[in-house]
């Protein structure tokens, strides 16, 4: 009697990937620090030797919030500089340090021309003394990204490319593409996400996984409000703005 399909598949082991399961990451990964995000990422974390793309609508920034836990862990694990290529604003050291980042190891490359950004990113990836590269690439073509992806792969460095949300329609060689947005007020999306978690705060982050090694993720992911003193302050501060109190005093009392 011929063996049944599941038996055959079991015999083949890892050689066959069925399309409804999450692919394993070929390289090393680093846990993102968010359990909900890790659950949907192949290899349960950010790829350590590939290009990941984060798309954000104009004016919206959630990159530090999303990447910081992983970057802090990466910094603690090995020496090296963290390179920022052409960030849109000034990185605020005291705030980043308070969240655990070793800010003295940040290297900010102030470049504005698209070509110079690409060149600087590639040079940084080649350097042994670099830990990870965050590159803001507002204008970039797919073949240029492909070159960066190859550089990241060859030199085994994580590269996070931050691009505008309009780029989601373009094709991209990145192994992971995420679209970040503030949690929408529309009830339709909220109803869809009811199964995952209850949207509550003003600080929730909505995350669409556009591309990953695995089946497409149809529903957006909800990342809850950030923890710690900020959210505590937000909870207290809402009252303070309405009344006229000293929120910080009460925060100290609550902490």
Partner 1 sequence: MHWIALQPQPEAQPPDGLAGLADVWSALGWWALQFTPRVARLDDAVLLEVSASERLWGGRARLRHLLLESNQAPALIQHAEGATSLIAKARLLPGLSHTPAPELPLTALAAASPHLATLAALGCTRWGQLRALPRAGVARRFGAPLLQALDQACGQGPDRYPWLLLPEVFEASLELAAQVETAPALLFGARRLLEQLQLWLQLRQRAVLALVLCWTMDARRDTATQGELLLRCAEPTLDTVHLQRLLAEHLARITLPAPALSLQLRTVETLPRGGHTASLLPEAQRPGDSLHQLLERLGARLGPAQLLQLQPQADHRPERMQRWQPVSNATVLIANEPNAARAGALNHSQDQALYPSWLLATPQRLAVRQGHPHYPDRLTLLAGPQRLEAGWWDAEPSALRDYYVARSSVSGLLWVYRERLDHPQVEAGLAPRWYLHGVFG
Binding segment for partner 1 (CB under 8 A), chosen from 22-30, 35-43, 142-150, 225-233, is 225-233
Paired strand residues for 47: 29
How many residues belong to the chain? 255
Which H or E run contains 55?
strand 51-56
Asked if residues 149 and 122 have their Cβ atoms less than 8 Å apart, the reply is: no
106 binds partner 1 (CB under 8 A): yes
203 binds partner 1 (CB under 8 A): yes
Write down the least CB distance from residue 83 to partner 1, Å: 9
Asked if residues 199 and 222 have their Cβ atoms less than 8 Å apart, the reply is: yes
Structural tokens at position 178? 């995420």
Binding segment for partner 1 (CB under 8 A), chosen from 43-51, 121-129, 171-179, 191-199, is 121-129
Asked if residues 87 and 118 have their Cβ atoms less than 8 Å apart, the reply is: no
Nearer to partner 1, 36 or 165 (CB): 165
Footprint of partner 1 on 127-166 (CB under 8 A): 127-130, 155
Which H or E run contains 73?
helix 63-77
Footprint of partner 1 on 45-74 (CB under 8 A): 57, 59-65, 68
Asked if residues 53 and 163 have their Cβ atoms less than 8 Å apart, the reply is: yes
107 binds partner 1 (CB under 8 A): yes
Q: For 47, phi and psi rounded to 5 degrees?
A: -70, 135
Residue from 9, 10, 39, 98 touching partner 1 (CB under 8 A): that is 98
Q: Which residues bind partner 1 (CB under 8 A)?
A: 57, 59-65, 68, 75-76, 78-81, 87-111, 116, 119-120, 123-124, 126-130, 155, 182, 185, 202-203, 228-230, 233-234, 236-238, 240-241, 247-248, 255
């Amino acid at each position: 009697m011929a063996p049944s399909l599941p038996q055959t598949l079991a015999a083949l082991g890892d050689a066959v990937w069925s399309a409804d399961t999450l692919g394993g990451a070929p390289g090393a990964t680093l846990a993102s620090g968010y359990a909900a995000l890790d659950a949907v990422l192949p290899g349960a974390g950010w790829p350590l030797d590939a290009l990941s793309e984060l798309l954000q609508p104009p004016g919206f920034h959630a990159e530090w919030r999303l990447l910081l836990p992983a970057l802090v862990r990466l910094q603690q694990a090995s020496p090296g500089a963290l390179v920022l290529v052409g960030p849109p604003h000034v990185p605020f050291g005291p705030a980043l340090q308070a969240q655990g980042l070793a800010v003295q190891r940040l290297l900010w490359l102030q470049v504005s021309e698209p070509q110079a950004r690409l060149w600087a990113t590639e040079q940084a990836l080649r350097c042994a003394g670099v830990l990870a590269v965050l590159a803001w690439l507002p204008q970039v073509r797919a073949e240029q990204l492909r070159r960066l992806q190859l550089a990241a792969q060859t030199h085994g460095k994580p590269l996070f490319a931050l691009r505008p949300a309009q780029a989601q329609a373009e094709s991209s060689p990145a192994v992971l593409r995420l679209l970040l947005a503030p949690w929408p007020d529309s009830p339709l999306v909220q109803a869809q996400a009811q199964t995952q978690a209850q949207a509550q705060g003003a600080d929730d982050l909505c995350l669409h996984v556009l591309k990953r090694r695995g089946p497409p993720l149809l529903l957006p992911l909800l990342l809850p409000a950030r923890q710690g003193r900020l959210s505590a302050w937000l909870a207290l501060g809402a009252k303070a703005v309405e009344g006229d109190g000293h929120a910080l005093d009460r925060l100290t009392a609550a902490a």
